[in-house]
Each structure stands twice: as C-alpha cells, then as structure tokens.
Structure 1
Amino acid sequence: MILIADGGSTKADWIAINSDKKEEFRVRTLGLNPAVVAEDELENRIINMFELIKIKDDVTEIYFYGAGCGTPKPTKILEDVLQKIFINAKINVAEDMLAAVYAATGKEPGLVCILGTGSNSCYFDGEHVHMKTASLGYILMDEASGNYFGKVLLRDYFYNKMPKAIAEKFNEEFNLEADYIKKNLYRTPNPNMYLASFAKFMFDFKEEKYIKRIIKKGFQEFFKYRILPFNKTAETPLYFIGSIAYYFRESLEKIAKKNNLKVTGIIQRPIDNLLEYHLQKME
C-alpha cells in the first residue's frame, strides 16, 4: 500500500493506493505542519484517523508533501512521527511547494504559487524548483494567504475600519472577545490556522467593495514580493494552488494582467493532480 498526502496547515488530504495501482480510499486529517504543531499532536492527528491506522502495517511507502517541510529540522520531526506509526514504510517528506509544482505543471516549466492558509511561490524549470527567498511563515510573510487576510479583518474590525454592515455580520460569525482571540493566537496550537479561519468570511462578501479592496491589496503585495522578482514574461505559465486563489480568481487575473502576466490555471485542491503524477511515475 502506498500513501500520498498533501498536507497544509489547516488540513491534510490522504490517498491510499493498492498494489494494483488502484485507489483504496481517501481521508482528511487536521493540518500536519511540523513547524507550528507539536510532535505529540502531529502523532495524535494521524493515529486518530481509523482508516490510516488500520492499514499502518501494510503501508510500504509514503509520499508526504507538507507546509512547514521546507527546512531540515521540522521535516525530520514529521519523518520520525510517520516512521513511528508506519513502521514498514519508506518515508518521503517534501515541502508543499513541490506538490504544487507536480500538480500544476507536471514536468513543464512554469511559475507556481500557493495561496491557501499560507502562501509561497517558485519557478520550476522542468527539472528543479527555484525559490527567490525562504518562507518565514505567517508572522513575517505569507502575503495574500488565509492567515494574512485573517489578520487584516481582525485589525480592521477592532480599529473600526470595517464597514458597519460587514462588521455586524463579522461579529455574529465569530467570538470576538479579546481574551478569546489572544488565547487562540498565543496559547494554542496552529495560530496560523486560527487566523485563516476568519478569511473564509470573505467568500460570502466577495462582491463588497471593502473585501475587493483588501483582496486587491493582498494580491498586489504577493506579486510584488513573490512573483515579479522572478522576472518572467506573460509567455511563462503561471499557476495558483489553494482556496484563496480559487475563490478570488477574477481579482487575481486582474492583478496578473496589470503586471503583464497571465494566469494559466488555478487548482483549489492539488491532491487529484498529485495522484495522477505519481501514477504516471509508477508506470
């Protein structure tokens, strides 16, 4: 049995493939970002998924692509957790950027970007992934991500910069007691996932001028810091992965055009494309 996983900070999608290269099942666990989730919690999130545990001794190989797996230390933490559970498996852990590349371009060159709970970008030349800068996560970077927009919404609400009608809906939707927010930001796991939960609010109000304005600003920042430094032209394929890109496609395409680029494709969830990539490799 082979497991393929696309692991974000919010959720991780898993697909099991049998020896006949047929799909056995799919499951979704909570996010498994080893840069922000403690080792024991990573283990709990996996072992609490019955479908995974019942086949743990039959798994021979795991391909896990995850947020927070771009540097050696957190990658090793997740590798150790997976090896402890799936004792007979060969463990392959790589960053989610590589999964985005495989899902979007396969083996063809292109710019590939992630706009989900977090954000990132790279240029794939057909063989190697090129990054302009390391990602320092949700506090310092992650422009135009779910947690970026979550911070914008919270600040605007508390600074009374949010339009009244939208602020009333925002207040109805979330617990906005200051102590509750601070507890989730500073004393519980996955503060980036907590911040990103507020961004979902934008999907229902995406036609409002206020939402369009903050989306436009966030996308402009992402292009400025994460795409334009690659110095590519409109002839270079440009792909986006993630729900932020998927639900705000129109705004994203406008910003791309303004910067003399063109969006080639947007994939909300890359797991299907990732499965296809690995099945082709197995042939």
Structure 2
Amino acid sequence: MPDPVSNSKYADRYRVGAGKKILLKEWVTDDKDKPVTREEGEDILKADILKLSEIQEKLYASNRYSVLIVFQAMDAGGKDSAIKHVMSGLNPQGVTVTSFKIPTHQELEHDFLWRHYIVLPARGMVGIFNRSHYENVLVTRVHPEYILNEKLPDIRAVSDIGHSFWENRFKQINHFEKTLADSGTVILKFFLHVSKKEQKKRFLERIEDPAKNWKFSSGDLKERSLWKDYRKAYEDMLENTSGSHAPWFVVPADDKWFTRYVIANIIVHELS
C-alpha cells in the first residue's frame, strides 16, 4: 500500500494560489492520474480518519486553536457524503456541522456574516460549514435580486449592484477570515468540482431511487440551467478569496471515493 504521507502532494496539487486566475475548465473533475487504486485509497482513508481523531484530541487538549472546514459545490457535488465519511472518526462532542439554507427573517435583519459568526467553533473545537458565507457571492451573484432582501442602505434596485459591490464583498469575507486566522482558527476550504455530466447522473439517481427522492427538487433543474453563471461565480470566488491563511482546494468530485481520499489527505497534511 502506498504511504499516505507520500501523497501529501495533494495539498499543493489542488490548492488555489492567492490571486491566481481560475478557469474551472482547466481543473479536472476526475483525476486520471490517481496514484492509488480504489481499494488502496479506501485503506489510506481509514488510516487518515484515525489520524484526524488523534489531531482532534491534541486540538482539544491545547485549547489554543480551532478548525473551520468549509465545503462548497454545485448541487449533487457530494458535500454531504464527504462530510459523513471523512469526519466519521471525530468525537461528535468536539464537532459542529452547520448547513446553511436560505436566510431566515431574523438572519436578514443582520449583516450577511452574522449567522456565520454565531456558529463558529470555539477553541479546541472543529466546525464544518456545509455551504457557507460564500453563498453570498455565489447564489446572490447568479440571483442578484436576493441582495435586495438584505435591505442595504445604498442598494435599492438590482441596477445598483455593480462590479464594485462584489469586490467589496470579497474584501469583507477576506477580512472576516483573516481575523479568524489571527485569532487561532485554522481555515480549510474545499470546492468539490463535479462535472455537468456527473451531476446529471446523480440527479437521475435521486429521481429513480426512492431512498434518494428527498434529495431532489424541481428547483435543482432550474439551477442546473444556470450552470455557466454558477461556474463564473465560482471562478471569481476562488480567484479573490484564496490565501495562505484560508486556502481553497479544488478537489475532483466525479469519483466519490477519490474525493474523500483527497480531502482527508489534505486535512491531515495541513493540520499535522
């Protein structure tokens, strides 16, 4: 079996360099250059899950740092299954998983980062965001009319939302994350990069398999029709918000076992 440590190259292979121009068509969704077979990868994943448990114990004992892991993806990108499998060895008492849905009325009465602030992990804890504050430069970028719900002083109509608005929002997010990092929060962000073809396959599985029906809604098809708009929004997000204190990793997501293997490998590498 390959040595898990030797494959720590994934941290660099899939890392988004600060300020790097991003075209997602140049990033693979199914890495054909896999260094391991599926069986080997699953064995290494088990070993990495044990390592994550050890890292969590040290994190809690030191009570000096916290860890925030962010997952973003197109619909059916595999966020839920990645979290379920990769984090399966962690002590649930030291982990919080927050899935962010459409903002509530109460949340809209505050700034867009408020609902994320209040669920950040305390020292010694691990926090996982299933979707995150980045929805505010993704969904709202594709549907700018949603910004009007925030009742911002200078935004009265969609026509008021220009390029400078998004530049400023990226700056706000970067400042938010830099403040967290300076205070001891280790931030790792994963974009699970799934192809449109694989997304279609997974949607069909959700429709045809009664056990998966609950995962599918008609709204998924509407959002799928906006694939190019979302891809552009993700490219801008990755270009503007990846830094040494809070890096993005673009992980191939067409093959779920490989996605989980890579994510676990990167987390262990970055936290060791």
TM-score normalized by the length of structure 2: 0.30
Tell which has more relative contact order, 1 or 2 (C-alpha 8 A, sep 6+). 2
Q: Could you say which structure has the higher strand fraction?
A: 1
TM-score normalized by the length of structure 1: 0.29
Q: Could you say which structure has the higher helix fraction?
A: 2
